Amino acid sequence: MSRKYLIAGNWKMNMSASESVDLISEINSLVGQQIHTQVCICPPFTSLQKSSSLVEQSEVHLGAQNMSSEPSGAFTGEISAGMLRDLYVTFVILGHSERREYFGESNQSINRKVLAAVENNLKPIYCIGETLEERESDQTLAVIKTQIYEGLANYPLSEVDNLVLAYEPVWAIGTGKTATNEMAQEVHAYVRKLLTDIFGDTAASGVRILYGGSMKPENAKGLLAQPDVDGGLIGGASLNARSFCSIVEAATGD
Ligand code: PGA
């Protein structure tokens, strides 16, 4: 099955609302009309409202970096899936390793968010990945397996088309160290095998598996050429329109 590349920018806790307007406008003018590669920008919550009007007429989609698993109520500081939908958000990053490490998110709590996202017509970008210690002790595939089985528990087969996975080795995030093309492909192929075991061959072959962790214009082509790498989740390099758009172009083949 042919899968359309997805290049998603994870801005993390960067960019004021007005800085976001400038950056999105620049990205829009560079890649906002191309349709070969799907493009998604995930700014902070505070920039979503202004950003949604900017991408309305373009092919650039909007994503959030987190959300609550609860629909509404007494959850101070939280943002619900419905609130994101209201701002024309289509994707939501869930289970990023920074959320796991600094905010105590577990496979179980992330699973509740993943299920809440699809119930509300948001496409989850579910992040998985091993730490350096886990890689060095040969636990990578075991960690990935647990993250997939627990994080995707009870995920409805009818929603597999809306599921995106992001393999982000923790040791590669923001460090300048990237997994080699072979390392990325090995884990991506394993993720697809697990998805096949859970959802069956046809459904699993349509799921996009992104690579994340110091992806930049210089290494994007090699990573994206791997058969099971279907795009990228880009942190640092997404804060500059030219470098982000060069990665989109690497996916498009320009
Ligand atoms: P990086 O971040 O590209 O800066 O390594 C990726 C991510 O955390 O999603």
Q: What is the pLDDT along the chain (254 residues), one digit of tens a residue?
A: 689 999 999 999 999 999 999 999 999 999 999 899 999 999 999 999 999 999 988 999 999 999 999 999 999 999 999 999 999 999 999 999 999 999 999 999 999 999 999 999 999 999 999 999 999 999 999 999 999 999 999 999 999 999 999 999 999 998 888 899 999 999 999 999 999 999 999 999 999 999 999 999 999 999 999 999 999 999 999 999 999 999 999 999 85
Output the pLDDT for position 253: 85
Ligand 1 touching residue 232 (CB < 6 A): no
Which has the closest alpha carbon to 92: 129, 62, 130, 51? 62
In this prediction the pTM is 0.97
Token pair 């498009």 in the structure block, residue: 252
Give domain status of residue 239, yes or no.
yes
Which has the closest alpha carbon to 125: 137, 136, 110, 135? 110
Q: Which two tokens stand for residue 250?
A: 């690497």
Give domain status of residue 147, yes or no.
yes
Write the residue with the smallest CA distance to atom 1 of ligand 1.
235
Ligand 1 touching residue 111 (CB < 6 A): no
CA distances from 161 to 24, 80, 121, 133, 158 (A): 27, 22, 11, 33, 7
97 Cα nearest atom in ligand 1? 8
Output the pLDDT for position 1: 61
Give distance in angstroms: CA of 146 to centre of ligand 1: 22
Sign of CA dihedral 105, 106, 112, 117: positive
Give distance in angstroms: CA of 200 to centre of ligand 1: 30
Write the residue with the smallest CA distance to atom 7 of ligand 1.
235
Size of the chain in residues? 254
Give domain status of residue 1, yes or no.
no
Give domain status of residue 180, yes or no.
yes
Rg (the chain; Cα; Å): 17
214 Cα nearest atom in ligand 1? 5
| DSSP code at position 37 | S
Ligand 1 touching residue 71 (CB < 6 A): no
CATH number at residue 156: 3.20.20.70
Please, which residues bridge with residue 40 across strands? 8, 61
Ligand 1 touching residue 148 (CB < 6 A): no
98 Cα nearest atom in ligand 1? 8
What are the catalytic residues? Answer: 96, 168
* Model pLDDT for residues 69-122, shown as the tens digit of each residue: 999 999 999 999 999 999 999 999 999 999 999 999 999 999 999 999 999 999
* Number of domains making up the chain: 1
Give distance in angstroms: CA of 72 to centre of ligand 1: 30
- Domain with 227, as residue range(s), is 6-252
For residue 114, give the 3-state DSSP assignment: helix
